[in-house]
Structure 1
């Protein structure tokens, strides 16, 4: 495994898992949020972001976390493994709120400078609706674009810890 794509709802644990997988496998870590957002939470232009994601996905090795459904067609065909963090929505919401408190006024390590942690109603709605709206799109893209791509489906912290034990430790 040289290219691992990790997707899931906000608060599902994607970034934390991606850091640990990258550390264990000694692979470069790519947080897509760092490439999408500009200071002040300004979104990257679509064409520029797609070009950047295409270049990142073309690299020989990576652990990449982030959803960005409009770029799944660039990432899935290059991936060796898809990890779907399918954390229950209430746990995701609790984590998002805890993360907001922990990183109040400062950017998280997986965000670019100038993007302090924030929460608004639209973001909370996105988290709440992710299982019904976004996850099916990711699963459909994986089935369509890469039907033979192995998928690891992680729903609980116990499943995540168990899967991590299958990976080598540095």
Structure 2
């Protein structure tokens, strides 16, 4: 694993999973939200975002976390490993609630209850019917990649625990 993408519905825990994977592997971590958003909650120009993403993908190793549906296929073309956090809507909505008020490395502001966006909430509620089919179609198209699909947090946590144990064993063997 040298070039990894982590995708899934907002609130699924992509950022948390990616930080844990970064800690285990030591691969550089890039959050698409940090490439796209400014601290004042406005976005950079699309051309700027796409150039930042292009520059990131030119690197030898990376973990890129985030959806940005219009760029998933570009990332699939160059990655070697995909993690799709395919969690239930309720899990994702709960994830959004749990992160409110917390400083995060993947977003340049702190989310609060008073800035919850109804459009964003509806996107999450409709993810499985509107966005997920396109993701599944792309994952099928790029099935020659190493694709991991987790349907709940326990599966993702179990994978990370096992990967951590395997890495520890390799270090001890040296």
Q: After TM superposition, is the score higher than 0.5?
A: yes
Larger proportion of helix: 2
Corresponding residue for residue 142 of structure 1? 139
1:1-170 map, 5 Å: 1-100=1-100, 102-103=101-102, 107-112=103-108, 115-117=109-111, 118-144=115-141, 146-168=142-164, 169=167
- Segments of 5+ residues of structure 2 without an aligned counterpart are 169-174
Alpha-carbon offset, residue 86 of structure 1: 0.9
Q: Report if the CA contact (8 A) 1:58-1:78 is conserved.
A: no
State the aligned residue count: 163
Larger Rg: 2
- Three-state SS of the structure 2 residue aligned to 1:167 is helix
Alpha-carbon offset, residue 142 of structure 1: 3.1
Alpha-carbon offset, residue 120 of structure 1: 1.3
- Three-state SS of the structure 2 residue aligned to 1:43 is coil
Let me know the Cα RMSD of the aligned residues: 1.5
Alpha-carbon offset, residue 166 of structure 1: 3.2
- Segments of 5+ residues of structure 1 without an aligned counterpart are none
CA distance in 1: counterparts of 2:54 and 2:90, whole angstroms: 33
CA distance in 2: counterparts of 1:26 and 1:15, whole angstroms: 15
